[in-house]
Amino acid sequence: MTPLIECSGLEKWYSGVHALKKVDFTVQQGEAVGLVGDNGAGKSTLIKILSGVHDADAGTIRVEGKQVRIRNPRQAMELGIETIYQYNSMVPTMSIARNVFIGREPLKWGALGIGWMDKKKMQRESVRAIADVDLHLRSPDALVGELSGGQRQGVAIARAMHFKSKVLILDEPTNHLSVKETDKVIGFVRDLKHQNVSGIFISHNIHHVFECCDRIVAMARGEIVFDKPAAETSVDEVHGLL
Amino acid sequence: MAIADRRAVDVSGAPKGAPAPEAVSPRRRTSPAKRLLKIYMERPELVALVVLIVLVAYFTIASGGLFLSPANLRGILSLFPELAIMALGFGLLMTAGEFDLSIGSTFGLTPMVVCVLCDTGLNFWPAFVVGLLCCVLIGIINGVITLRFGIPSFIATLGMLFMLRSLCVVIYSHGAAPSLPDDAPVWAFSQAIGFIRVSVIWLAVLALIVYVLLEKTNFGNWVKATGGALESAKSMGIPTNAVKVACFIICSLFAGIAGVIQVVRIASPLPSLGDGMELQAIAAAVIGGIALSGGVGNVLGAIVGMAIIRVIDSGMIMSRVDANWFQFAIGLLTVLAVIANMWLGRRARGMKVETDQ
């Protein structure tokens, strides 16, 4: 089976700092990969390249076997790569329905990409999308700012599912969440598989990663130093490496 | 208003189509009154509307009914639309998270350009179009300086304020004091109809345009996202710079249109026109509940904010209060409005209305 994402020889420099050194990284269809590593290990750089925030200086990226160049977040999303950042994925001052469709609003009519939003459809589909990830919110008109951190991550995941993403990148989604909410987010990641969506789960917390990932990849100093199925390794082994 | 009503229905009624049996559990049901209060507190422009009504009532009593006399209303409704149009454009820009101090100078410069062109023999309408193109250019420059060099728009447009004002004076003195042509289309800008003027129609149409842009189109969604959480908007692929430049342009355009309306009304372009008006527009937006931090803004807030300022101005005169206190009142109200909005917002967030199981 062709891997969903296949990066080879990715290189990235930031003004003299060699942030990624010939990184090869693959994600299979429906697989949840845990990406761990210390600060500055290159995790963020790697996912920023995949999500279109940064461009790699060298190397190739293939999505479902086809070589692509991801120039901006929009292109990443069109390729089915959706990223959920620790803070930056929702606009707290906007309603849930508007947040679900940011940048991808259904239009009744329009020209040059600007037009009249189909608000009924946005409300209807956002309610359904949220229910699909087993999160129940009373009103799609409630402001995202009123939701708890876990609920926000749930809405972000619902959004990704609604737009039929093929791979979901979660960057430290459990930071600053209560234990109960962390469990909920971990549950979301586990459920991705049932919907045949791959996940890349980035976390400082190795326990969280082990709870929901099939494979563990560890990075250090811009290189991948460890790559094993979760079943063949242990929290202690990964801990020892870092 | 419609939004408030709908939300009231949604939080109190059964969830439409949402299979959420757990959510309807009997625990912690908030009373309808509390929910309405929360909706109200979340919408500072409604608070401002109440303040406006109270002020009108107060000044009507204090002036022995003179305040609501047709003559006085006509006076208020001469200047109000011009300033409100400015506040409208400014409010839109503020919603996108940026700021424009140069609108007062744009207000003065645009009619100056139009009149100078008319003096050279050009017809009014082509001159008007050139004037508006100047506004577009000003908006683009404001946007590009701010975004390209990453400096706060407060500074970029402060520079613009001085430069454009200087241009006003230069054009005025070199153009040998241009004047409004005699055949200027008064009917299209400031003709009196009863105790309103045509400018009220301009205000209504422009308000409708901004309302539709903000509430009905995806562009409005992008504006709110850009102002509300810039990084999120970027990560969702919204062209945030383009959105901001568009808002800078609309803001300048509205200031220019307002300036032309005023010059047609008073029939002569003066280089000092619009001086200090940017501050009134800012005060109006703030009093109307548009957040300085961006992301929150609406048409009603900007208009009501400006109405409050005009009502205080006129009301103080009608009720024979020393008019020198006008600026004091506006200043106090601006500060109080921000404090009150922050307090109300915090209280509203603290009021838990059930959102999940």
pLDDT by 10s per residue, chain A, length 242: 788 899 988 888 888 888 888 889 999 888 899 998 888 788 888 998 999 888 888 889 999 888 988 888 889 998 999 888 876 688 888 989 999 999 888 899 888 888 999 989 999 999 888 888 777 777 888 888 888 887 888 888 888 888 888 898 988 888 777 888 788 888 888 888 888 889 999 988 888 888 888 899 988 888 888 888 888 888 888 777 77
Taking the C-alpha atoms of residue B238 and residue A170, their distance in angstroms, rounded to an integer, is 20
Q: H-type helices in A91-178, by residue range?
A: 96-100, 119-132, 149-162
ipTM attached to this prediction: 0.83
Q: Along chain B (357 residues), what's the average pLDDT of each consecutive run of 10 residues?
A: 38 38 44 73 82 92 87 89 94 93 95 91 92 96 94 93 94 80 82 85 95 92 92 89 96 96 89 90 89 82 92 88 87 88 76 50
For A53, list phi and psi in degrees, rounded to 5. Answer: -75, -40
CA A151 to chain centre: 16
With CA atoms as reference, the chain A residue closest to B229 would be: A91
Residue A152 C-alpha from the chain's centroid: 14
Who contacts B163 (Cβ-Cβ below 8 Å, separation ≥6)?
B105
C-alpha dihedral sign at A144, A148, A152, A155: negative
**How do residues A106-131 score in pLDDT, each as one tens digit?**
899 888 888 999 989 999 999 888 88
The per-residue pLDDT for B15 is: 39
Nearest CA in chain A to B39: A142
Mutation for testing the B interface, residue in A44, A71, A94, A171 having most B CBs under 10 Å: A94
The residue written with tokens 């076997």 in the block is: A65
Residue A224: strand pairing partners: A219
Please state whether B306 falls in left (phi above 0), alpha (psi between -120 and 50) or beta. Answer: alpha
Distance of CA B351 to the CA centre of its chain: 30
User: For residues B58 and A65, what is the distance between their CA atoms, to the nearest angstrom?
Assistant: 73
Burial of B332 (0-12, 13-18, 19+ CB in 10 A): exposed
Answer whether A137 sits within 8 Å of B10, measured CB to CB: no
Nearest CA in chain A to B352: A146
Q: Which residues of B touch A77 (CB under 8 A)?
A: 236-237
Asked if the Cβ–Cβ distance from A72 to B23 is below 8 Å, we say: no
CB pairs under 8 A between A and B: 139
Q: Which residues of A touch B225 (CB under 8 A)?
A: 91, 94, 98, 102-103
List % helix, strand, coil for chain A (3-state, nearest 5).
35, 30, 35
Q: Both tokens of residue B273?
A: 């026109």
- B357 touches A: beta carbon within 8 Å: yes
A46 Cα distance to chain centroid: 12
Calpha distance B295→B93 (Å, rounded)? 10
Q: Are B299 and B94 in contact (CB under 8 A)?
A: no
* Residues in chain B within 8 Å Cβ distance of A147: 355-356
Q: For residue A55, give how far its alpha carbon lies from the nearest alpha carbon of chain B (Å).
A: 14
Do the Cβ atoms of A53 and B216 come within 8 Å? Answer: no
**Does residue B159 contact residue B144 with C-beta atoms inside 8 Å?**
no
Q: Considering only CB atoms, which chain A residues are within 8 Å of B219? A: 114
pLDDT of residue B22: 38
Instruction: Tell me which DSSP letter residue A231 carries.
Output: G
Name the packing angle between helices A149-162 and A179-192 (round to 10°): 10
Q: What is the DSSP letter of A16?
A: T
**Residue B28 touches partner A, C-beta closer than 8 Å:** no
Q: What are phi and psi of A165, to 5 degrees?
A: -65, 150
Residue with tokens 């050139």: B130
Q: What is the pLDDT, as a whole number, of residue A189? A: 84
Instruction: Please answer yes or no on whether B16 and A127 come within 8 Å at the CB atom.
Output: yes
Predicted TM-score (pTM) of the model is: 0.86
- Interface contact flag, B224 A110, Cβ < 8 Å: no
Please say whether the beta carbons of A32 and A190 come within 8 A: yes
CB contact under 8 A, B235 and A88: yes
Q: What is the pLDDT of residues B269-289, one digit of tens each?
A: 888 898 989 999 999 998 888
**Optimal mutation site among A81, A127, A138, A146, interface B, most CBs of chain B within 10 A:** A138
Sheet holding A58-63, edge to edge: A17-27, A5-14, A58-63, A66-68
Looking at residue B53, its pLDDT comes to 93
**Helices then strands (H, E): number in chain B?**
15, 2
Q: Look at B224 and A98 and tell me if their CB atoms are within 8 Å.
A: yes
Q: Are A92 and A143 in contact (CB under 8 A)?
A: yes
